[in-house]
Amino acid sequence: MSEFLVSLLGERLVNSEKAEVDVQSLGAKLSLVGLFFGCSLNAPCKQFNGSLCEFYSRFKKTSEHKDKLEIVFISSDQDQKHWQDFLQEMPWPALPFKDRHKKMKLWNKYKVTSIPSLVFVDAATGKVVCRNGLLVVRDDPKGLEFPWGPKPFAEVVAGPLLRNNRQTTDSSSLEGHYVGVYFSAHWCPPCRSLTRVLVESYRTVKESGHKFEIVFVSADRSEESFKQYFNEARRSRLNRLYGIQGIPTLILLDAEGHMITRQGRVEVLNDPECRLFPWHPRPVLELSESNAVQLHEGPCLVLFVDAEEEGELEPAKELIQPIAEKLMAKYKAKEEETPLLFFVAGEDDMSDSLRDYTNLPEAAPLLTILDMSARAKYVRDVEEITPAVVEQFVNDFLAEKLKPEPI
């Protein structure tokens, strides 16, 4: 276990007294690590840190599992004085301020898109146990449900569900169905826009003969709206189960309750006729306005080509698809998320905007890897882009052999 933690966090952490903490000394009984991603200048982070300190102190004093948990602070502070002052408030260690590379690797590995964020991971493997630790701190203040591992969807959602005619149905009616778990709220304009599209998609899928249902998990603020759609306990457990960090979010599950994709929102918008339902992840995506948000979820390989008409991107997709499929299969076997997304981009306004934003040359074809969260780019400048060139580029990136350029 200690060897893995060293590879994940490095050999040394630091504590509030500026002393080094040997990662291997965190304890042989340690089974869970909470990665706290935050920033001293962020008001919600400051507020959550107070709650987390109370939770941590209580857990260490009263829980029979007190030796099995440790928290590590992963800061996005740019000023060392601010970072040090914030660390003074924490009873747990932190990644060293100057270890920016390790911080960005952790942000990308665990796909952190907002702060504060608390991700609980298995200390021996690094696999995610619970993505939404903020809700753990709020809903289980005494830590009685440690280690907060995922439960089957059917167990979490168990109970009565309310239909739009105010009639109830039991959650067991979802058995054998594809299920869309839709986190949304009436007060949220993007949610209302997606809901209109989703209603039509729902009808289309049902008419095609698929067993498909959508469970609406409301984030409405009024007590009446809150009670109307879902009780608090189930809402919180579903948010924890899927690590929801923002709305609208649409999770697609297969008939056994296993996740198909977290990108239901993108899929619904990109496939209004639902031809690709149930929207299994595709190895290579064509860059568009609706899926460009995924560029911010982690490193992405983008192959820019000279293509303006529909169908002209196919040769580019066929070139990189075997490499993308191989990488997806490798990480799926390890039950981990793929560390790199793959896109092809033609000549259009979306591609032009991306080139301008990342300061990329106008050349086509152009092979790049963009890491928006790290504000870094990698460009392979070769006369001909072949599968061998792409595969070597990907392998070098994953092995950290490439030198980044700033975005």
- 143 or 373: which leads in pLDDT: 143
Query: Could you tell me the pLDDT band of residue 114, with boundaries at 50, 70 and 90?
Result: confident
Same domain, 211 and 298: no
End-of-domain residue from the set 95, 110, 139: 139
Q: Is pLDDT above 70 for 45?
A: yes
Among residues 327, 347, 337, which one has the least CA distance to residue 287? 347
Same domain, 301 and 358: yes
Q: CA-to-CA distance for 116 and 332, rounded, in angstroms?
A: 28
Same domain, 235 and 295: no
- For 246-253, what is the mean pLDDT? 95
Instruction: Give the global pTM.
Output: 0.80
Same domain, 160 and 247: yes
Q: CA-to-CA distance for 377 and 407, rounded, in angstroms?
A: 6
End-of-domain residue from the set 139, 161, 195: 139
Same domain, 250 and 306: no
For residue 117, the tally of other CB atoms under 10 A from its CB is 23
- Given this model, what pLDDT does residue 223 score? 55
Q: CA-to-CA distance for 296 and 401, rounded, in angstroms?
A: 22
Query: Could you tell me the pLDDT band of residue 327, with boundaries at 50, 70 and 90?
Result: very high
- Given this model, what pLDDT does residue 91 score? 97
User: 41-50, 132-141, 220-229: which has the minimum mean pLDDT?
Assistant: 220-229
Same domain, 41 and 134: yes
Q: Is residue 277 part of a domain?
A: no
- Given this model, what pLDDT does residue 4 score? 86
- For 174-199, what is the mean pLDDT? 95
Phi-psi map region of 209: left, alpha, beta (phi>0 left; psi -120 to 50 alpha): left
Same domain, 211 and 250: yes
- Given this model, what pLDDT does residue 245 score? 81
Q: What is the DSSP string of 17-79?
A: TS-EEEGGGS-TT--EEEEEEE-TT-HHHHHHHHHHHHHHHHHHHH-TTGGGEEEEEEE--S-
- Given this model, what pLDDT does residue 229 score? 47
- For 70-84, what is the mean pLDDT? 96
Query: Could you tell me the pLDDT band of residue 231, with boundaries at 50, 70 and 90?
Result: low
- For 180-197, what is the mean pLDDT? 94
- For 232-247, what is the mean pLDDT? 86
Residue at token pair 């009616």: 173
End-of-domain residue from the set 116, 139, 162: 139
For residue 321, the tally of other CB atoms under 10 A from its CB is 17
- Mean pLDDT across the chain: 91
pLDDT in tens, 256-301: 999 999 999 999 998 999 999 999 999 999 999 889 989 988 899 9
**Overall residue count recorded for the chain in this entry:** 407
Helix or strand run (H / E) with residue 377: strand 376-380
Domain range for 190 is 153-270
Q: Is pLDDT above 80 for 54?
A: yes
- Given this model, what pLDDT does residue 386 score? 96
Q: CA-to-CA distance for 237 and 252, rounded, in angstroms?
A: 17
Say which CATH number the domain at 380 has: 3.40.30.10
